[in-house]
Copies of this chain bind each other. A is one copy, B any other.
Amino acid sequence: MSIKGIFPIDNWDFNSESVLTDLPEKDLQLLMFHQSRQQYKKGEIIFREGAYPSGIFLIEEGKVKKYKTDKHGKEHIIYVANRGELIGYHAILSEDRFPDSAAALEECLVAFIPREDFITAVRESEVLSKRLLKTLSHEFTVLANSLTLLAHKSVRERLAMQLVIIREKYKVNFQPGMPVEINMGRDDLASLVGTARENVVRILSEFKEEGILETRGRKIIITDVQKLIAIAND
């Protein structure tokens, strides 16, 4: 049974770096032995920053935001994880508590893998541990990039960039050829970009003026990705 077989949906998009892609059958079974599925409604919290991890989570359907909340309750989204991605494993590997929280951005189906099974799988499977090393290093790079982005780009440029990135993630929900709709609250978009909602809304209007995108209610349809990329790159 391939990885595609054990999941509810068949047309998996694995161009993203899923840790589990092509994992040997026996390793996968080790990992999924005591797995249990759970449904999360939009906004529901999957795990909380600072909690001790009892296992890891595999997103089988939907999108999840990873975020941190500061003292004033303001939340900052670090990353949007998509279908096929594994989350919560940093805490287990670093033998520490969750560094961030995770919540469903939309209706989600998530598999829970107990701590012990994950640890066993990492110990037993050379492929998995090598894959994890690679993924972690890669994630690190991506995060380091965001860091410089935040530090040196204007809000306008950052929003442009995040729109491009987010659009890729929403592609998964649509047939090829169909226009991709980004369906994300302005507040979430703002905390992803690292600014206030008002700024996001304003710049979104500017982009609309400039013929870069259209909005249909909360939904955003990007019509000129190239222009956005140009803005993002200065």
Q: A-side interface residues toward B, CB under 8 Å?
A: 4-7, 49-50, 68, 70-72, 74, 76, 78, 89-91, 93-97, 99-100, 122, 129-130, 132-134, 136-141, 143-148, 150-152, 194, 233-234
Contacts and interface: CB of A to CB of B under 8 A. Distances in A.
Given A6-B49, A136-B140, A194-B152, A147 B76 contact: yes
A16 B3 CA distance: 29
Contacts of A134: 93-95
Contact of A6 (B76, B97, B122): B97
Given A94-B134, A132-B133, A133-B132, A143 B141 contact: no
A34 to B, nearest CB: 22
Given A68-B144, A152-B70, A97 B133 contact: no
A162 to B, nearest CB: 12
Given A6-B49, A6-B97, A194-B151, A78 B144 contact: yes
Contacts of A74: 152
Contacts of A194: 150-152
Contacts of A49: 6
A136 B138 contact: no
Contact of A133 (B93, B138, B141): B93
A95 B16 CA distance: 14
Contact of A136 (B7, B136, B234): B136
A96 B139 contact: no
A50 to B, nearest CB: 6
A148 B70 contact: yes
A217 to B, nearest CB: 27
5 contacts: A76-B152, A90-B141, A94-B141, A136-B140, A151-B194
A148 B94 contact: no
A6 B138 CA distance: 22
